[in-house]
C-alpha cells in the first residue's frame, strides 16, 4: 500500500540539471517516463509542473519507477556494513538514557521518517559519486518549509491554523539524535551534510516529497513532480507488481493541461506546514476559533444585555456562575475544547452555536447569530499586524519574502472562510425574519426558539457532516 505524503510546487530548474535527470532516468532499468508528458514544464509564474504534450487517455502510465531507483532506510551501497551498524546504533541508542543516568529523561529518538532523512543525507554527502546525484540535483534547494523559518517569520503565522502545527514541529530533538549517531559513525556522513541547515533541508524533502510505503517514507523520483489540486486530480500513484511504482491517470488529460495529483483533503494550514505552499480556493480549508475568544465575546454580549438590569457586580457574579454551570454540564468524555474548527463544509459547527446560546442565555436567534458574527470579526483581529501592509514594515529585514507571502496568502484564505461564515449568518437571519413575517401574515407563528438554531443554521447540515465523516474514514 502506498500513501501519498506529497511534493510542493517547485521552482524552475536549469536545463543542465533537467537533462542529467532525464539521462539518469533513461539509463536506469525499470525507470520509464512517458513521452506524452513534460516533467519539467516551466510556468510563467516561476514554478514547474507536469504537463501533457498530447491527449492522454484514462489509465495511462505516465511514470514507472523501479523500487531500486527509490530512496529509503533500506537503500544500500558499498557502505552497507557501516550503514547497517549506524542504523542499529540509532535504534539501540534511542532506548538509553542520557549518559546512563536514569534520573534524566531518555535521549531523543530518531523517528522512522528520519531514517529516510539520514539515508538521503548520506547520498547527498557522496556528491557526484552517488547514484542518486542527478535526482538530488533537481530537488528544490531554496524551497523552505516553516520548520526552516526564523522565529520572526514563524511569528507571521500568529492566529492561523498553522501556528499550533508549526509550533509542535521543532527539529532540535531529532537533530540531537542525529548528531549522536554521527559521532559514533563519522564515516557514513560527510561533514557538509551534518549541519542543522542540511538536516532541516533533508527533513523538508522527505516531508514534502516523500511517499509512505509499508510504514516508511520513501523518495520516489519522478512521482514527486506532480503538483497538488484536489479539484483537478488526474493522476495517482499505485504499484505494478512488487517491484514497481506507477503514476497512472484516473481521467483523460488534454494536451497542454497540467497533470495534477492530490495529496488528500487537507487544509491550507496543513499544506503550508508539510508541503510549503498555500492553495487558493482550497475547498478543504479550515479556521481555528479559540474557545477563550468565544467566551470573551459572549461575555461582551451578556454585559450588553444584562448590565443595566443587574448592575456591574451582579452581572459579573451571574456570568461566573453561568461559566461554572456550563463547565459542569459538559460531557466528561469531551474534555476541554481549545478551539472550534470552522470549515467550508461546516461553517457553523453545532458545538459553537450551542456554546454561544448557552452562555448568552438568549432565545433570540439574532442575538446568538450576532454574537457568532462578532466572534468571527474578533478572530480576524488575531492575525499578525505585520501582514496588513503590502510593503515591509521597519525592522522586517529578517523576514524572507517567501515566508511573508505564504503567511499573507494563508491569512487571506482563512479570512475568506470567516467572511463566508458571516454571510451565512446574515442569510439565515434574513430567512428567519422572512419566515416570521409569513407566519404572522398567515396567523401561524411558531416560536420555536433554540430549535431554529439547531436545525436551521446551515442548510443540509446533516449531509455536510456525513460527508465530513466519510472523508475522515
Among 34-38, 81-85, 435-439, top mean pLDDT goes to 34-38
What pLDDT, on the 0 to 100 scale, is given for residue 82?
81
- Residue 248: helix, strand or coil by DSSP? strand
What pLDDT, on the 0 to 100 scale, is given for residue 335?
52
Lowest mean pLDDT among 166-175, 271-280, 383-392, 456-465: 456-465
Task: Using alpha carbons, list the distances in angstroms from residue 139 to 8, 14, 21, 42, 71.
Answer: 11, 12, 11, 15, 13
Helix axes 268-275, 196-209, angle to 10 degrees: 130
Give the CA dihedral 424, 430, 432, 437, nearest 10 degrees.
Answer: -170
Lowest mean pLDDT among 16-30, 68-82, 171-185, 196-210: 68-82
Strand order in the sheet with 37-42: 10-11, 47-52, 37-42
Q: What secondary structure letter does DSSP report for 43? A: P
- Residue 124: helix, strand or coil by DSSP? helix
What pLDDT, on the 0 to 100 scale, is given for residue 199?
96
Domain 2-275, CATH class in plain words: alpha beta
Over range 266-282, report the average pLDDT: 94
Residue 348 has pLDDT above 80, yes or no: yes
HSE, CB side, 13 Å, CA atoms: give it for residue 428: 26
Over range 103-113, report the average pLDDT: 72
The residues spanned by each domain of the chain are: 2-275, 286-472
pTM (2 decimals)? 0.82
Give the model's confidence band at 50: pLDDT under 50 very low, under 70 low, under 90 confident, else very high. Answer: very high
Residue 274 has pLDDT above 80, yes or no: yes
Task: Using alpha carbons, list the distances in angstroms from residue 54 to 31, 39, 78.
Answer: 21, 13, 42
Contact 67, 29 (CB under 8 A): no
- Residue keyed to cell 507571502: 405
Cell of 133: 546525484
What is the per-residue pLDDT across 62-91, written as a single tens digit (0 to 9) for each?
999 999 899 988 887 777 778 888 877 665
The neighbouring-strand residues paired with 237 are 247
Over range 291-298, report the average pLDDT: 95
What is the per-residue pLDDT across 397-432, written as a single tens digit (0 to 9) for each?
467 888 999 999 999 999 999 999 999 898 887 776
Give the model's confidence band at 449: pLDDT under 50 very low, under 70 low, under 90 confident, else very high. Answer: very low
Amino acid at each position: 500500500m502506498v500513501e501519498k505524503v506529497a511534493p510542493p510546487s517547485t521552482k524552475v530548474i536549469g536545463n543542465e540539471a533537467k537533462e542529467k535527470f532525464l539521462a539518469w532516468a533513461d539509463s536506469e532499468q525499470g525507470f520509464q517516463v512517458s513521452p506524452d508528458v513534460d516533467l519539467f514544464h516551466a510556468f510563467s509564474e516561476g514554478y514547474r509542473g507536469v504537463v501533457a504534450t498530447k491527449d492522454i487517455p484514462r489509465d495511462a502510465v505516465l511514470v514507472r519507477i523501479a523500487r531500486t531507483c527509490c530512496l529509503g532506510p533500506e537503500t544500500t551501497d558499498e557502505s552497507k556494513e557501516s550503514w547497517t551498524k549506524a542504523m542499529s546504533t540509532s535504534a539501540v541508542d534511542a532506548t538509553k538514557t542520557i549518559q546512563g543516568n536514569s534520573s534524566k529523561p531518555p535521549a531523543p529518538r530518531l523517528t522512522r521518517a528520519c531514517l529516510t532523512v539520514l539515508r538521503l543525507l548520506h547520498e547527498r554527502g557522496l556528491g557526484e559519486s552517488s547514484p542518486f546525484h542527478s535526482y538530488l540535483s533537481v530537488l528544490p534547494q531554496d524551497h523552505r518549509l516553516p520548520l526552516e523559518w526564523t522565529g520572526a517569520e514563524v511569528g507571521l503565522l500568529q492566529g492561523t491554523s498553522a501556528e499550533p502545527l508549526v509550533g509542535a514541529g521543532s527539529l532540535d530533538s531529532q537533530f540531537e539524535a542525529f548528531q549522536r549517531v554521527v559521532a559514533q559513525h563519522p564515516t557514513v556522513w560527510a561533514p557538509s551534510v551534518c549541519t542543522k541547515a542540511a538536516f532541516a533541508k533533508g527533513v523538508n524533502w522527505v516531508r514534502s516529497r516523500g511517499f509512505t510505503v509499508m510504514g516508511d517514507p520513501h523518495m520516489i523520483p519522478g512521482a514527486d513532480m506532480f503538483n497538488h489540486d484536489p479539484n483537478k486530480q488526474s493522476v495517482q500513484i499505485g504499484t505494478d507488481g512488487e517491484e514497481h511504482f506507477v503514476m497512472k491517470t484516473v481521467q483523460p488529460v488534454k494536451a497542454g493541461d497540467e497533470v495534477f495529483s492530490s495529496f488528500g483533503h487537507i487544509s491550507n494550514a496543513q499544506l503550508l506546514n508539510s508541503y510549503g505552499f498555500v492553495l487558493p480556493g482550497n475547498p478543504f480549508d479550515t479556521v481555528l476559533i479559540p474557545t477563550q475568544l468565544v467566551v470573551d465575546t459572549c461575555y461582551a454580549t451578556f454585559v450588553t444585555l444584562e448590565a443595566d438590569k443587574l448592575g456591574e457586580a451582579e452581572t459579573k457574579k451571574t456570568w461566573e456562575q453561568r461559566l461554572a454551570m456550563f463547565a459542569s454540564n459538559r460531557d466528561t468524555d469531551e474534555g476541554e475544547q481549545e478551539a472550534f474548527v470552522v470549515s467550508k463544509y461546516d461553517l457553523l459547527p453545532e458545538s459553537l452555536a450551542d456554546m454561544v446560546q448557552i452562555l448568552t442565555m438568549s432565545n433570540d436567534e439574532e442575538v446568538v447569530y450576532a454574537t457568532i458574527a462578532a466572534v468571527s470579526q474578533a478572530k480576524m483581529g488575531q492575525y499578525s499586524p505585520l501582514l496588513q501592509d503590502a510593503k515591509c514594515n521597519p525592522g522586517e529585514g529578517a523576514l524572507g519574502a517567501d515566508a511573508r507571502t505564504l503567511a499573507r496568502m494563508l491569512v487571506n484564505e482563512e479570512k475568506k472562510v470567516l467572511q463566508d461564515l458571516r454571510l451565512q449568518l446574515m442569510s439565515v437571519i434574513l430567512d428567519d425574519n422572512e419566515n416570521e413575517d409569513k407566519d404572522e401574515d398567515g396567523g401561524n407563528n411558531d416560536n420555536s426558539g433554540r430549535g431554529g438554531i439547531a436545525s436551521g443554521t446551515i442548510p443540509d447540515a446533516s449531509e455536510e457532516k456525513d460527508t465530513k465523516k466519510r472523508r475522515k474514514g
